[in-house]
Amino acid sequence: MPQVPQTLDALAVRTWCGLALEALGRAREEIDAINVYPVADGDTGTNLYLTVESAVAAVEAVFAGHEAAGHGSDDGSDGHGPGDGVMKPALAEVVRAMAHGALIGARGNSGTILAQLLRGMAQVLASDGEAAHTDGPSLRVALRHAADSAREAVAHPVEGTVLSVADAAADAATGAEGDCGAVARAAYEGARAALAATPGQLAVLERAGVVDAGGRGLVTVLAALVQTLTGEAPKHGTVPSAAPVQAPAPALAVGTAVPEPAAVHARVPVDACEEGGPAYEVIYLLEAGDAAVARLKERLDALGDSLVVVGGDGLWNVHVHVDDAGAAVEAGVEAGRPYRIRITHFASGDAHMAGAGRPPRERAPRAVVAVVPGEGLAGLYAEAGATTVLARPGEPPASGELVEAVRRAHAREVVLLPNDAELRHTAAAAAEQARAEGVRVALIPTRSAVQGIAALAVHEPDRRFDEDVVSMTSAAGATRYAEVVIAERESWTMAGICQAGDVLGLIDGDVAVIGSDVTATAESVLNRMLAAGGEMVTLVLGDEAPATIVDHLESRVRESYLAVDTVVYRGGRQGALLLIGVE
């Protein structure tokens, strides 16, 4: 019989996140279908899934880092028993990663609130940075702090929503005795009962005959926590998606199938959903101080509704519904530095608008979706007609973000450019999901943004799809790529041992040059690449690169390689000091 943890440790958090993601994946379409508040845009399940997927990616990155470095403990002192073969980071590190991942990946109203719930839990669970695990009493405190934090993050809390479900879970946990498993089960039961009561608290839910979609998602996440800590999924499942006034839906437990989406949609008549309200949903991440965010909340509250601002320590996720999307973004610019800005027009039909009574927007024949490492390149790709997904340093996009970008492109045929060797599997998973939704997708395994630029340069939408893909693939494959970066730590490389702070020149993914000067290292890399021939050099300059490096390299090319042209782009905050492409 498998051993079940009696406390919540790093491995248990990892398991919980994974089980929650799987459960939300199974329930996503059902939750989307019952989403009628605050806007009947049918995407709550998808938003919750993407939020948790981002949390999972952050947690897995922590474990991968520790396993690669040989850190952690495997002596059984954490309660999992000896010899489980996994190098374990500290509980505090994992819950902080979980919260940060959810914060940067939070989508929609419910996803943003879930991110704050996880952040509130993490603040308590990470308070003792050296602890390997936490016990039942600490989990009770964490659930209470999570519910309070989420309520504080919402400008105008409404009962009958995920906030009520979170409060009920915390209340039930407070009265529970025993280990973490007992506390989790009590929280789940309290949340389940509160979810069943939401139609009686919110008229729009009662008219539609459904429970709150965000609350339904939270119950799913808590069921995964119960399964993690007890080894058993709750036997009676979650409450039905339809309220008692309608024909009951089958009870759903973790691991069971969900009803067909069409059957669920049939229970939510269009005239039961609220109409009117702001036209746009605006979401962005924001780097700003506490005082600036306090002023931002006041301004956004005056502009619209459904305002939720979560985060802290200089990084925030801002969500609001407004009529003037530009003003909402401008307010963010005044407060700090907004990025990953997403604006959705509720009437456009792009946000899974099921049953809205509007004709679907005609799909474009073909589109290109590309992952780009900086704002400058995002603008360049967008000018070339691509739909972009911004990948900030250390924050690679999840497959759900790529799928969502394919949906935004709204085309029958899509060429997907991951522009990073590490994103190959993520992009492949996204392509498979998009194909399942009826989109013809071709994945070109570009390993750098400069290969993507070469592919875009030969892209012709009017050409046959297969011919276009072959041409773009050939252009990308004929482009050697390099980057100049600063070493973060001492390590072994193909060029020898580097120290933290050394300048590294990587060619086709391998370290080829170790230097102390950025310009000299870049010149050495470029000479090595051009020694094998080339007709075009592409330079993408990062924000932190020396201002004179471009002039120096362009002069070097003109003097030594007469038949070679050079083109320069500004990449912005792209991680690497310089990207180099040679075609």
Residues 412 and 464 in one domain: yes
CATH number, domain with residue 441: 3.40.50.10440
Residue 548: inside a domain: yes
pLDDT-derived band at 358 (thresholds 50, 70, 90) equals very low
Q: Give the pLDDT score at 419.
A: 93
Q: Give the pLDDT score at 219.
A: 95
Alpha-carbon distance 481 to 182, whole Å?
54
Q: Does this model's pTM top 0.85?
A: no
Residues 192 and 311 in one domain: no
Residues 451 and 410 in one domain: yes
Could you say which of 209, 234, 266 is where a domain stops? 266
CATH number, domain with residue 301: 3.30.70.1710
- What is the residue-averaged pLDDT of the chain? 83
Residues 105 and 247 in one domain: yes
Query: How many CB atoms lie under 10 A from the CB of residue 469?
Result: 18
| 552 pLDDT higher than 60 | yes
Half-sphere exposure of 248 (CA within 13 A, CB side): 8
Report the share of the chain in percent with pLDDT over 90: 44
Bridge partners of 496, per DSSP, are 493
User: Which helix (H) or strand (E) covers residue 177, if one does?
Assistant: none
Q: DSSP assignment, residue 463?
A: S
For residue 187, give its domain range: 8-266
| 356 pLDDT higher than 80 | no
Q: Give the pLDDT score at 276.
A: 56
Residue 356: inside a domain: no
Q: Give the pLDDT score at 186.
A: 95
Residues 25 and 74 in one domain: yes
Q: Could you tell me which residue, 444 or 134, shows the higher pLDDT?
A: 444
Q: Give the pLDDT score at 95.
A: 93
CATH number, domain with residue 93: 1.25.40.340
Phi/psi at 395 (nearest 5 deg)?
-130, 70
| 287 pLDDT higher than 60 | yes
Q: Is 12 exposed, middle or buried (0-12, 13-18, 19+ CB in 10 A)?
A: buried
For residue 82, how far is the Cα from the chain centroid?
34
Residues 258 and 288 in one domain: no
Query: How many CB atoms lie under 10 A from the CB of residue 130?
Result: 7
User: Which helix (H) or strand (E) covers residue 370, if one does?
Assistant: strand 364-372
| 184 pLDDT higher than 60 | yes
Q: Give the pLDDT score at 41.
A: 64
Residue with tokens 């940067």: 104
| 429 pLDDT higher than 90 | no
User: Which helix (H) or strand (E) covers residue 514, if one does?
Assistant: strand 510-515
Residue 352: inside a domain: no
Strand bridging mode 578-582 / 480-486: antiparallel
Q: Could you tell me which residue, 304 or 278, shows the higher pLDDT?
A: 304
State pLDDT tens for residues 326-338. Answer: 888 888 989 998 8
Residue 371: inside a domain: yes
Mean pLDDT of 453-482: 93
Q: Of 30-44, 296-310, 440-454, 499-513, give the lowest mean pLDDT range.
A: 30-44
Residue with tokens 């780097």: 287
**H-state helical runs in 175-236:** 180-201, 203-208, 213-230
Q: How many domains does the chain have?
A: 4
Q: Give the pLDDT score at 571.
A: 83
pLDDT-derived band at 71 (thresholds 50, 70, 90) equals low
Residues 242 and 322 in one domain: no
The percent of the chain in helix, strand and coil, each rounded to the nearest 5, is: 45, 20, 35
The answer for 405, left when phi > 0, alpha when psi is -120 to 50, beta otherwise, is alpha
Residues 12 and 152 in one domain: yes
